[in-house]
Amino acid sequence: MSENSENVLKLILQKLESHEELLVLLIPDFKTKKGVANFFGVCEKTLDNWKESGKFQEGVEYFINEKGRVEYIPQGLYQHKKNRQSKQNGNKELKSEKQKIYHPSVMNIVKGLKVG
């Protein structure tokens, strides 16, 4: 390998290490209930409610470790949040469609109006 190629690889490695350090600062803290609650923008009690109601499933969003403590699964949490957001966006679309539905008498009045 040429000296130039080695220098390029070293530079790439340095950049990757730098980006890795920055990512660690940005990744949410999934080790604590408080960190997970902050990630979802809810209180810690809501997480307990989600576990009790089945919205959080053991083995998907969390598991019980050998000491009997809850540990959260980052991939499951990301997927749960993604699913929540898509449901919320779907509900917004339904609400906007519902707003366009009027009582028949209102529709008759609106049809009779002239614009301009």
Domain boundaries, the chain: 1-28, 31-112
Mean pLDDT by 10 residues, the chain (116 residues): 87 88 76 92 95 94 94 91 82 50 58 57
What local confidence, expressed as pLDDT, does residue 91 receive?
58
State the pLDDT at residue 94.
47
Helix (H, G, I), strand (E, B) or coil at 7: helix
d(CA 88, CA 40): 13
3-state secondary structure 81-105: HHHHHHHHHHHHHHHHHHHCCCCHH
Predicted confidence at residue 43, as pLDDT, reads 95
> Which pLDDT score is estimated for 26?
72
